[in-house]
Structure 1
Amino acid sequence: MMREFEIERQFDIKIETLKANKGVYYLKTNKGEKCLKKINYGPQKLLFVYGAKEHLINNGFSAVDKYHLNIDGEPYALVNEDLYTLSEWIEGRECDFHNIDEVKLAARTLAKLHEASKGYDPPDNSKLKSDLGRWTHLMSKRIKSLDKMRDMVRKKNNKNEFDLLYIKSLEFYKGIGKKALKTLEESDYEKLCEIAQEEKSFCHHDFTYHNIILDGNNECNVIDFDYCKREVRTFDISNFMIKVLKRVDWDIDFAIAIIDSYNEVSPLLNSEYKVLYAYLQFPQRYWRLANRYYYNEVNWGQNTFGGKLQSIIDEQEVMLNFLNKFKEKYNLE
């Protein structure tokens, strides 16, 4: 009860109903429906996220889960050393990535978000979050870590299903990882980072179906900016594309629809297609799953991990086929 009382006191609200809902809390209050969320990072990072959302709203992109300020004008409540944010509850449903019209709407929304993000100067006491210029290093590091995890498997006496699948598939993913790194190194990545730096733009960094909410008017709202940071926009586009493509058997028509819809709002430069291709090539999902498994980042069961790895491996052929079609469509060397 103490916790609820503190939330009420610090945000100056009265809670009528409180329900847990997918990692957050739904609140019905005397000031309307709200979303309460415990965050696992510090106040300086939160101020960057808060500032980013306010910047979007001020630039005409208001379809976000706006934060409420506490009685001291801060975007959080501090309860027993835990930080909580309170934002607008956006009623609606998650974007359906099998529906090409909804995917197109989401792509146009992402382009509007990127346009509105330009010119963002974070608050003075915030911590700047940026991945600009880091991707050649990150790809290289992740390719090396695939070998490190293989060495961990070799030292195991009892190898399970996941270990055997990993050993068997490693060379394939290491190979395409190296190709992706080469593509990125041969692209205008550094120049595009400089442009993003000058534009002072940022990316959402987790633009996926559960963060894209379609309301009653079929308007697209974007929530959960916890991972937003300075980044080239092709990262957001590729991340979104992969989340869609893995659900539609890597159908090139969906990829083209995303790019065409994005370009309607904010046309991509010719030099951005190669960087986008490098991100699409890189085996990020394979690396992340292995990383989570071998470094115990997630508490899933053995079968879940094995099943997820097998489904990634099963996509090899359709994914390579897609990459070839993409390369051809956008005249990439």
Structure 2
Amino acid sequence: MEDILNILQSSYGLQIQNYDDIGGQTLLETDHGLYYFYSYPAGYRSKRKFVERVKKHLETTSGFIILPFVETQGKQPFVTNEDELFFLHPGVREAVLEDPAYLTGQALAEFHQATVTLPKDRLSSSYVSLGTWPNTWKKRLGGYDQYRDEVDGKRGVIQPFDEYLLKSYSYVSALGDTAVRYLNGTGYQQIAKQTPALGRIAYQNFDKGYILFDEGGQRYLAGPYSWVVDMRSRDIGQWIKARIWDDGWNAGDTLRFLDGYNSVAPLLPEEYPMIYALLLYPGRFLRMVDLYHGLPLEEREQLSTEAWETGAEEELMAMERAIREFPLLLRESYGIEIPVVEWFHREPIGQA
């Protein structure tokens, strides 16, 4: 992170005094005030027209202010750093919310509603994720298969984290395969056809830091390069997962978030299985495998294996509880029944 901070300081002419990772953003405290920092793959440079089209539409259909990009000292809207793009938004005086989960759910529903009338011909097919979940998930699982095969084929000593990933392989692969089958078995493609009438745009990984509330009651959208064409269930499921990763499973917060969303735009009963499938799918674990797989051997040897193992285990255990309790929450709170997966419980790695 220090290298990134140095790049931001030199590119924007700032002195960064402190920073804090909050969900999908990094809050920067500088000698020029507060800024929000977001990072994207360098390939997103071509996403500019798509972002501008969606932004222009939202400015006329929603009550949100879309935060502008801060220009660099060279009058550019972002910084290019090898395979990444760095963006800054100006900070706002954020309110301390009494019921943040409920208000975030409401605001997210209003965001989705505002995108319903976005003309289809204004959306680039390059950024359409709608209808692609099963194939995308299977591709990521295939990467884990490839990693496993490569490690199995090696002779000699492997790294401790390789051992952990190999021990986790059967469980994680089965969990991912189950998520794909669950999607297909609960009508994913049919829901994908219905969702444009409910909202056309979603975030890739919706989290804290994308919808902001100021002290005057105004609401803001940040991180527009995260926008994709997809169903609203994606944002709902990703928010729930992000809260689980950060704080563990919290049925009360999850229910308040859903209540807030439903108060504006009630979810269809058929959409809840899509959210459950997202809980089943070990996406962050598989991204970690991809990241580790791509590291040079010398970097693998220098990793803090214990920290990576602990993080991976904590995520799997937290998601297990959510997978068990989410269907019960829906049944007790909304009278909605969804198919339940019962098989997944297992002992943590290293325990009897």
The TM-score bracket by the shorter chain reads 0.7 to 0.9
Instruction: Tell me the residue number matched to 1:272.
Output: 271
Query: Quick one: which of 318, 325, 329 aligns to 2:328?
Result: 325
Query: Which residue, 115, 118, 128 being the options, matches 2:116?
Result: 118
Structure 1 residues 169 and 258, CA, compared in 2 at 3 Å: closer, same or farther? Answer: same
Distance 2:287 2:129 in 1: 17
Output aligned runs, 1:1-333, within 5 Å.
18-19=14-15, 40-41=42-43, 43-66=45-68, 76=77, 89-93=90-94, 101-121=99-119, 128-156=126-154, 157-197=156-196, 201-217=200-216, 219-296=218-295, 301-303=303-305, 304-315=307-318, 317-323=320-326, 325-326=328-329, 328-329=331-332, 330-333=336-339
Mapped partners of 1:163, 1:204: distance in 2: 32
The answer to whether the 8 A contact 1:35-1:88 is kept is: yes
Structure 2 CA distance, aligned partners of 1:258 and 1:79? 36
Distance 1:50 1:145, change over 3 A: same
Q: Which amino acid aligns with 1:208?
A: D
Cα distance change of structure 1 residues 105 and 188 upon mapping to structure 2, 3 Å threshold: same
Distance of aligned partners of 1:44 and 1:230 in 2 relative to their CA distance in 1, 3 Å threshold = same
Q: Is the 8 A contact 2:285 2:312 kept in 1?
A: yes
Verify the 8 A CA contact 1:76 1:83 in the aligned structure 2: no
Q: How many Å apart are 1:77 and its aligned residue?
A: 7.7
Displacement after TM superposition at 1:201 (Å) = 1.4
Is residue 27–residue 35 contact of structure 1 (8 Å, CA) maintained in 2?
A: no
Residue range with higher mean Cα deviation, 153-162 or 236-245 = 153-162
Q: What CA distance in whole angstroms lies between the structure 1 residues aligned with 2:95 and 2:207? A: 9
CA spacing shift, 1:170–1:76, aligned 2, 3 Å: same
Kindly indicate whether the alpha-carbon contact (under 8 Å) linking 1:106 and 1:220 is maintained by their aligned counterparts in 2.
Answer: no
Aligned pair in 2 of structure 1 residues 217, 153: CA closer, same or farther (>3 Å)? farther
Structure 2 residue identity aligned to 1:108? Q
- The answer for unaligned runs of 5 or more in structure 1 is 8-14
2:242 counterpart SS class: helix
TM-score by length of structure 1 reads 0.76
Which whole-Å CA distance do the structure 1 matches of 2:76 and 2:267 have between them? Answer: 34
Q: With the length of structure 2 as denominator, give the TM-score of the two structures.
A: 0.73
Q: Structure 2 unaligned runs (5+)? A: 1-7, 20-25, 340-352
SS of structure 2 residue aligned to 1:46: helix
User: Displacement, 1:142?
Assistant: 2.3
Please give the alpha-carbon distance, in whole angstroms, between the structure 1 residues aligned to 2:98 and 2:151. 41
How many Å apart are 1:219 and its aligned residue? 4.6
- Displacement of 1:306 in angstroms is 2.9
Asked whether the equivalents of residues 19 and 25 of structure 1 are also in contact (C-alpha less than 8 Å), the reply is no
Structure 2 vs 1, CA of residues 327 and 186 (structure 1 numbering), >3 Å: closer, same or farther? farther
Q: What residue identity is the alignment partner of 1:132?
A: L
Could you tell me how far 1:318 is from its partner in structure 2? Answer: 2.2
Partners in 2 of 1:140 and 1:62 — Cα distance? 36
Distance 2:323 2:186 in 1: 20
Q: Report the secondary structure of 1:132's partner residue.
A: coil
Deviation at 1:195, TM superposition (A): 2.8
Report the alpha carbon displacement of residue 36 of structure 1 after superposing the two structures with TM.
8.8
Structure 2 residue matching 1:247: 3-state secondary structure: helix
Name the count of aligned residue pairs. 313
Amino acid in the other structure paired with 1:321: R
SS in 1 for 2:220: strand
Q: Distance in 1 between matches of 2:182 and 2:195?
A: 20
* 1:58 Cα deviation from its structure 2 partner: 1.1
CA displacement at 1:45 relative to structure 2: 1.0
* Aligned-CA RMSD value: 4.1
Superposed displacement of residue 34, structure 1? 7.9
Is residue 206–residue 225 contact of structure 1 (8 Å, CA) maintained in 2? no
Q: Is residue 213–residue 219 contact of structure 2 (8 Å, CA) maintained in 1?
A: yes
Residue pair 1:207, 1:239 contacting (<8 A) in 2 also: yes
Displacement of 1:170: 1.8
